[in-house]
Structure 1
Amino acid sequence: MGGKYSYWLEQAFFQKNSQLFEDKNYKRFIKEMIHTNLECVRINLNMEGKVWSCCPKNWKSFSSSCYFFSTDAKSWNSSQENCSRMAAHLVVINSKEEQDFLTQNMDKTAAYFVGLSDPEGQGHWQWVDQTPYNQSATFWHPGEPSHSEEHCVIVNHPSISLQWGWNVILCKDRHRSVCEMMKIYL
């Protein structure tokens, strides 16, 4: 979808809902809105009159989330801060389908931080959004997690492996990342 469609959608939305301009909650929503250029698709769900499922421009859509794949390398903490500035968080992977979607959109020559870490180095893995760590929904490379001084997780496709997987790494190392946010419904 190009810019014309996004512009048309914004115009249609704002014209249709022009009475909302006087609503102070709506004004606060617009003032706090970080992503002003959205790409939307019509949905058939009856979500109290909401008929558009939207992600910010240049983000990828999957299930009920939007994903941003960075092209610059940062530490894990800087990556999470960057996601937060975009009203998102480092990606939380909940299923094989989500893992497959992510890896289909990743560069095989790069590694990507995800929102999983073990801050204490005690094997207590936690997701940034407090989703419980589910051992049965993990995609560790063989032999991982392997090192007690490595507390952050990347998704990578090492040349020795035939598939993508998770690897622990030093949090200060610099890699790409994936941010995730909930879709916006209009």
Structure 2
Amino acid sequence: MKEKDLQRGFGSSEEDCGVLTHETDDLKQEPNAVRVRWVKDYLFVKTSVSWNNAKEKCTKLGGYLVEIDSKNEEDVLKDQRLLGKRWWTGGRDYHGNDTWVWDSSKDSFSYVNWDKNQPDPSSEGCLVMYSSGYWHDYPCNETFWFICENNSIFS
């Protein structure tokens, strides 16, 4: 599906249902990406990479690793074919002192959904969202699928 076809898909359908999902097969060389438009534009990239590689790929796509600001946003994300997987987000604990911020904005979390016993007291400084919506900290060199976010439309 070409980008112009994706953009043409937005409009009345988005207004009717609130969330519009597009499968993409060539958006910026990411053949394993699912694009979702809600208040923001999201790409669910089904390629396992480290947190740093996920951040780099999101930047190259014109966005950043997702920053989950509310339960509503999290609900939209977890409803999108997460299929039992773990997804990198933009959450980071840079100093290992349990002070979590969003990487792109450097904002502290205004909303959290940590699972039981999370974050655990270790040096796991990167945030993963499970398909259930719960959050876990993981070592940044682990490999998972990832979610990119953009306040406008990915091009």
Normalising by structure 1, report the TM-score: 0.65
Judged with a 3 Å threshold, the aligned counterparts in structure 2 of structure 1 residues 62 and 148 are, in CA distance, closer, same or farther, namely same
Question: Given the alignment, which residue of 33, 37, 60 partners 2:36?
Answer: 60
Residue deviations 1:114-147, cap 9 Å, x none? 0001011011211022252235x10100111003
Partner of residue 134, structure 1: 109
Task: Give the CA deviation at 1:39.
Answer: 4.1
Counterpart mapping for 1:32-181 below 5 A: 38-42=7-11, 58=24, 59-63=35-39, 65-134=40-109, 137-157=111-131, 163-181=132-150
**DSSP 3-state at the match of 2:10:** strand
- Which 4+ runs in 1 deviate beyond 6 A? none
Identity %: 22
Gaps of 5+ in 1: 8-36, 44-54, 158-162
Normalising by structure 2, report the TM-score: 0.77
Amino acid at match of 1:151: G
Decide which structure has the larger Cα Rg and report it.
Answer: 1
RMSD: 2.5
Q: Report how many aligned residue pairs link the two structures.
A: 135
Amino acid at match of 1:138: V
Aligned partners of 1:38 and 1:57 also within 8 Å: no
Gaps of 5+ in 2: 13-20, 25-34
